Amino acid sequence: MIEREMDDCGSKSAVIAVKEQRVDGSWLLKNLAEGIRSLRCTLMEIERNYQFKILTNQSLVKLFSTLNDKKLNPWFITGFTDAEGSFIVSIYRDEKSKLKWRVSAYFSIHVHDKDLPLLKLIQETLGVGIVRKNNENTVLFRVTDIKELQVIVNHFKNYPLVSAKILDFILFEQCLELIKEKAHLTEEGLLKIITLSANLNKGLSKELLEAFPTKALDKSEYKFNGIPDPNWISGFATGDSSFSVAIEKGTTKLGKRVRLIFGTCLHIREKDLLVGISKYFSNLNIGVYKEASVHCSIKNNTALLQIKGITEINNVIIPFFTKYPILGIKSKDFEDFKLVAELVNNKEHLKIEGFTKIMEIVKGMNLDREWKN
């Protein structure tokens, strides 16, 4: 099977977990920097000590009502797919078939059931596929029909992927063309698909490698070609970024410092993408926001973008995502993020009452935002 399989929704990399179990809305990065034992979607270890906060039914209705009766911007769908989507070619043994092997292709987006309404909106916007429960905590949008897969292909030709996932899409499209021509029913066609699949996602399974000791084609090198549209960023950030609040030691009377952080962590091969996002933001406010640096860990094969200056947060991040909204459950984190920013801007964090209020807000953000079905 191929990486990002419906039932294998783990890391983007086989080397280290850049984002473990994305379906729970979190990612984990070990030993990124000295003194930080773990880096969750809040980007700070302090968050893990907080108690869970359960969303009320009213807040859920309010959250999901924002997704009703509207179509998604196509660039948002591409951005969210760059973060959470999968292009899969499944090759498995079938003794009843002529070649003893069966080939199928499908496109899927697999997330925590917190974001079921968002998946339904993606389905309704594209007009293909099904949305269904996958297990107790996850749901998926899946397209398997050949004609409907052509709709998916057409979408990503018109609104191309930006991340390294575009390499998977190119291979997927080639495999799909062979399937449409029924070439997969011939030995020659099957071998072509297997050769292409050797470079798709994690490559071939052990069973396939033993049965078909084929040599993979030279793997294409990923090249970042720029951010095509602001809605792409909002879609990508909905899937892959985090809005967090760090409580650090400070020189205030309370001895604490409140820092707001917008962050994204990817495999190191996609460093240029993160640099591109930073440059895109810097071009929005020339003279206000200096391009943020992207920190790489060769040991962990990761690249991390963090924007945490209060000026940049106030003048770039908050206005941008207010105009091009984060959707789904993460929109609640962004709303809390804005509340904390307002308190900081008003110097309320320097008072015990304001600081306590910030702590209460932070308790319910990101992983600590408990969900009830």
Q: Identify whether the C-beta of residue 79 lies closer than 8 Å to the C-beta of residue 235.
A: yes
Residues 193-246: tens digit of each pLDDT: 988 888 887 777 777 777 777 665 666 788 999 999 999 999 999 999 999 999
Position 206 scores a pLDDT of 78
The DSSP secondary-structure symbol of 162 reads -
Q: What is the pTM of this model?
A: 0.80
The region, left, alpha or beta by phi > 0 then psi within -120 to 50, assigned to residue 21 is left
- The residue with tokens 């925590």 is 112
Residues 248-261: tens digit of each pLDDT: 887 777 888 899 99
Residues 312-347: tens digit of each pLDDT: 999 999 999 999 999 999 999 999 999 999 999 999
Q: Residue 18 pLDDT more than 50?
A: no
* Residue that wins the pLDDT comparison between 371 and 263: 263
Cβ-Cβ contacts under 8 Å for 236 (sequence gap 6 or more): 79, 80, 82, 83, 162, 163
Q: Residue 176 pLDDT more than 70?
A: yes
C-alpha of 224 from chain center: 17
Question: Over 197-262, what HEC string results?
Answer: HCCCCCCCCHHHHHHCCCCCCCCCCCCCCCCCCHHHHHHHHHHHEEEEEEEEECCCCCCEEEEEEE
Mean pLDDT of the 57-78 span: 64
The b/e string for 183-198 (b: 16+ C-beta within 10 A; e otherwise) is bbeeeebbebbbbbbb
